[in-house]
Amino acid sequence: MTIKVGINGFGRIGRIVFRAAQERSDIEIVAINDLLDADYMAYMLKYDSTHGRFNGTVEVKDGHLIVNGKKIRVTAERDPANLKWDEVGVDVVAEATGIFLTDETARKHITAGAKKVVLTGPSKDNTPMFVKGANFDKYEGQDIVSNASCTTNCLAPLAKVINDNFGIIE
């Protein structure tokens, strides 16, 4: 089964999510929302100063991104409630703007038709955070989750190993 993903925010993290998805046959990016012009989005995807040139074809046609021959809807909507994710069958939204970091604000993606939302930064409320290698086994199907921060993703797995084997005193 292919998971259809929408990306809200096509900055550094949004583009990394996009590139990672291109390496998997079970994930399809079907929509991107950002206030950037589609031509600039295509340029930023093609040429990355850290990751190099995109390994594939990228073009803009009729306001859509065409990546490796696949058409991706592009929108420039400020309010996630108006994104109509259901029109393109989005299962999961990668919330990468850094703005909608609470359950209340991220839930607008659910209202717009997405089934689940992953915040790409730490939540600003009690939205659960999961880190692979630390507490990912605690995930119970919540519809809105946070992937925590990059610092947490670096340190938590190591801290878990140390704590499990030796203990950490607060």
pLDDT in tens, 71-125: 999 999 999 999 999 999 999 999 999 999 999 999 999 999 999 999 999 999 9
Over the stretch 33-55, which tens digit does the pLDDT of each residue have? 999 999 999 999 999 999 999 99
Q: Which domain holds residue 105?
A: 3-166
Q: With 90 as the cut, is the pLDDT of residue 27 above it?
A: yes
In this predicted structure, the answer to whether residue 25 has a pLDDT above a threshold of 90 is yes
- Percent with pLDDT over 70 in the chain: 100
- At residue 162, φ and ψ (nearest 5 deg) are -65, -45
Identify the three-state secondary structure at position 27.
strand
What would the two tokens of residue 103 be? 């359950």
Q: What is the CATH number of the domain that holds 72?
A: 3.40.50.720
Point out the residues that are catalytic. Answer: 150
**Mean pLDDT, the chain, whole residue set:** 96
User: Total domain count for the chain?
Assistant: 1
pTM over 0.95, yes/no: no
Nearest Cα to Cα of residue 128 among 101, 109, 105, 153: 101
- Name the β-bridge partners of 71: 66
Look at residues 89, 93, 83, 91 and name the one whose alpha carbon lies nearest to residue 120. 93
For the chain, the 3-state helix, strand and coil shares in percent, each to the nearest 5, are 30, 25, 40
Q: Tell me what pLDDT residue 153 has.
A: 81
Is 115:91 a contact under the CB 8 Å cutoff?
A: yes
- What pLDDT is recorded for position 151? 87
Structure tokens at 58: 């990228």
| Structural tokens at position 125 | 């409320």
